Amino acid sequence: MELAWACDLVEDKARRLAEKYTIERFTTDYRDVLADPSVTCVAVCTDHASHAPITVAALKAGKHVLCEKALAATAKGMATMLAAHRRRPGLVFEGVFQHRFDAINRHLKALVEKKAFGQVLTAGVQVRCKRTNEYYNGDAWRGTWAKEGGAVLINQAIHYIDLLVWIMGGVESVSGVYDNLTHQDAMETEDTATAAVRFRCGGLGTIEATSSSHLDWETTLSIHGTEGSIDVRDDRPLKVACLDKARETAIQAELAAALSAPGELLGKSYYGTGHPAQIEDFVAAIRGKRKPFVSAASARHTVDVVLALYESHRRGKRVSVPKH
C-alpha cells in the first residue's frame, strides 16, 4: 500500500504526519482526499460525530472504508453509513475492533462456541482506567454528548464490551445506569457505568466501566459456565477452572500457545497487537473482493449495546437492543 494523503483539521498535525511518513500530500479537508481518483481506500480516525458524514461521502466517492470505533455516536449516524454501503455493496466497509484479532480472544470465542465451559451462565467485563480533567479538556469533542456521544462507555470500554458481545454471540437487552462522579468540571457525559445484560444465547452478563480509577488501565473478561470458567486480566489468562481437569490442562496449554503467537505492538501497550492484523485484513478483503472479518454491521451491534445502556439509564427501564 501507499500512503497518499495525510488529513487533519489542524494543518500542522497533517504536515508533521506527512513529513514523518513521506506522504506526498496533506490537507485539512477530507473532501480533497475523496476527490483524488488515485485513492482506493480511506481510514477514518476522527472524532465520533464526524465518522458518519466522512464515511458516507467516502462510500459515495467509491472508496473502501476502515472506520475507527465507535462506528458512529448515534443510531441515525450508523443507519446512514450502512445505507450508503448498501448502495455500494462492492466496497469493503470495516469497523475497527482490533482486539478481535488478538489470538487469545479468537481462541476464547472458539472455546465458547464449542461449549468448552458447558452452558454459559454468566459473562462480564470490567474496564478500569484513569482519564484526567486535562484529558477531557484537551479536545473540545471529548466528554460531550453531541461530539463524542458519551465518554468511558463509547470510547474506552467499548473495546471490551465488543469482545463480550462478540464472544457471546450478541446481546438481546440491557439495563444500565451511569453517572459523572469525578469529572463534573470537565465534561457533561459519564465517567462510570454499570449494566446487566441478557445475551441472545440466554446467558446473563454484566458491564462495569470507569475512567475515574486510580489504575491507569485494567481490564477483566470473565466467563462462567456449567462445566468451567475463565478470567482474563489485561489480555492474559488469570484463572482457568474446569470440572474435567484434562480439559482444563488442554485449555491452559492452548491459551499459552495463543499468547506466544507473533504480533506487532504499535502505540500504547493496551492497544494490543490487533491494529496491524486488522489493516492487513482490510487490504486482503479489498484485494480478494470478500467481506472483512469485522463487518460494519457487526461493529454496529456493539455500538447499539452501548446506546441501549444510555437509553436504559434515561428511561429507567430495560431496553431491547435492535436487530438489523
- Residue-wise pLDDT tens digits, 71-93: 999 999 999 999 999 999 999 99
How do residues 132-170 score in pLDDT, each as one tens digit? 999 999 999 999 999 999 999 999 999 999 999 999 999
How do residues 196-212 score in pLDDT, each as one tens digit? 999 999 999 999 999 99
Give the residue among 142, 165, 137 at the shortest CA–CA distance from 152: 142
101, 78 in Cβ contact below 8 A?
no
CA–CA distance, 218 with 210 (Å, rounded to integer): 10
Q: Is 245 exposed, middle or buried (0-12, 13-18, 19+ CB in 10 A)?
A: exposed
26, 15 in Cβ contact below 8 A?
yes
Q: Is 83 exposed, middle or buried (0-12, 13-18, 19+ CB in 10 A)?
A: exposed
Q: Is the dihedral of CA 282, 103, 264, 231 positive or negative?
A: positive
219, 156 in Cβ contact below 8 A?
no
The torsion angles phi and psi of 172, rounded to 5 degrees, stand at: -90, -45
pTM of the model: 0.95
- Check residue 98 and report its DSSP letter: G
How do residues 113-133 score in pLDDT, each as one tens digit? 999 999 999 999 999 999 999
Higher pLDDT, 257 or 87: 87
pLDDT above 90 for 261: no
The secondary element (H helix, E strand) that includes residue 14 is helix 11-20
Higher pLDDT, 258 or 297: 297
The counts of H helices and E strands in the chain are: 10, 13
pLDDT of residue 324: 81
CATH architecture of 99-261+296-320: 2-Layer Sandwich (3.30)
CA–CA distance, 130 with 209 (Å, rounded to integer): 11
Domain range annotation of the chain: 5-97, 99-261+296-320
pLDDT category at 266 given cuts 50, 70, 90 is low
Mean pLDDT over 301-315 rounds to: 98
Query: Which CATH superfamily hosts domain 5-97?
Result: NAD(P)-binding Rossmann-like Domain (3.40.50.720)
CA–CA distance, 135 with 145 (Å, rounded to integer): 16
pLDDT category at 273 given cuts 50, 70, 90 is confident
Mean pLDDT over 173-185 rounds to: 98
pLDDT category at 264 given cuts 50, 70, 90 is low
For the chain, the distance separating the N- and C-terminal CA atoms, rounded to the nearest angstrom, is 33
Mean pLDDT over 294-320 rounds to: 98
CA–CA distance, 276 with 292 (Å, rounded to integer): 14
3-state secondary structure of 256: helix
CA–CA distance, 224 with 121 (Å, rounded to integer): 6
